[in-house]
């Protein structure tokens, strides 16, 4: 299975592992830097709290908060769940078939900010073109070294970290998945396609709101 298929955002076909309790506790321990915003993500499976690293990824955080403030994410779903990689959402509605929402313009890829795609971090999903991220994001469920920026690899921009609710992330990563019918957007046109790794019972993002 290729990396490009795993993390394509919307129209390109882009290890449940156990973590020691101490490691999970460490992941959830808040280390919010002064001035960094925090958001609360309410899902149909529970609540996740996320610190956004505005000091390290200012463009990405600003973009994400613009969507948050417009309540864009309300009613969207985690449409791709790969239990040994990540859970991805922020672009499709819970309708049948899933329908991709229009987005703002793409942003620059801030994967050179020194942040790593480690377990519990949140990063931007994108197309093969590095500067193509819009609204979709993913939460790493393991350390994904292959997603970090390196020579010859543009990487995926980390812009925050789960500080509460990593157990909810693990519940989501464990759901049954399969194929799902979707209406995607490509150059402003709708296309119907079948996506892989789609939760068979929708995992809905009920809301994302600023917590500070």
Give the tens place of pLDDT for each residue, 92-112: 999 999 999 999 999 999 999
This prediction has a pTM of 0.86
Task: Transcribe 6-47 into DSSP letters.
Answer: HT--SSS--------HHHHHHHHS--PPTT--EEEEEETTEE
Query: Which has the minimum average pLDDT: 2-16, 102-116, 183-197?
Result: 2-16
Cβ atoms of 212 and 203 within 8 Å: the answer is no
Cβ atoms of 38 and 163 within 8 Å: the answer is yes
Instruction: Give the H/E segment covering residue 140.
Output: strand 137-140
Contacts of 127 (CB under 8 A, 6+ apart): 8, 9, 12
- pLDDT at residue number 33: 63
Both tokens assigned to 44:
């149909």
DSSP bridge partners of 152: none
Cβ atoms of 75 and 122 within 8 Å: the answer is no
Sheet holding 98-99, edge to edge: 98-99, 177-186, 189-199
Please check the confidence at residue 17 and state whether its pLDDT lies above 80. no
Question: Residue range 164-191: average pLDDT?
Answer: 96
- pLDDT at residue number 169: 98
Average pLDDT of every residue of the chain:
88
Both tokens assigned to 92:
């499709």
Q: Where are the domains of the chain?
A: 3-24+34-210
Both tokens assigned to 164:
């509460």
Of the chain, the percentage scoring pLDDT greater than 90 comes to 82
Model confidence pLDDT, tens digit, residues 20-69: 344 444 444 444 567 899 999 999 999 999 999 999 999 999 999 999 99
Please check the confidence at residue 186 and state whether its pLDDT lies above 90. no
| CATH architecture of the domain covering 3-24+34-210 | Beta Barrel (2.40)
């Amino acid at each position: 299975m290729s990396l490009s298929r795993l993390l394509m955002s919307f129209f390109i076909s882009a290890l449940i592992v156990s973590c020691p309790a101490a490691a999970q506790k460490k992941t959830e321990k808040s280390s919010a830097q002064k001035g960094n915003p925090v958001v609360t993500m309410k899902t149909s499976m529970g609540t996740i709290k996320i610190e956004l690293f505005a000091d390290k990824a200012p463009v990405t955080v600003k973009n994400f908060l613009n969507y948050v403030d417009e309540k864009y994410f309300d009613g969207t779903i985690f449409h791709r769940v790969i239990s040994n990689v990540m859970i991805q959402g922020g672009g499709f509605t819970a309708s049948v078939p899933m329908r991709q929402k229009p987005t703002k313009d793409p942003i620059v890829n801030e994967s050179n900010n020194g942040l790593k795609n480690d377990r519990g971090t949140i990063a931007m999903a994108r197309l093969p073109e590095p500067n193509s991220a819009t609204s979709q994001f993913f939460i790493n469920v393991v350390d994904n070294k292959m997603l970090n920026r390196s020579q010859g690899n543009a990487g995926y921009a980390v812009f925050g970290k789960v500080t509460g609710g990593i157990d909810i992330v693990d519940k989501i990563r464990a759901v049954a998945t399969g194929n799902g019918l979707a209406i995607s957007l490509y150059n402003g046109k709708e296309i119907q396609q079948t996506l892989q790794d789609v939760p068979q019972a929708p995992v809905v993002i009920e809301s994302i709101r600023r917590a500070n």
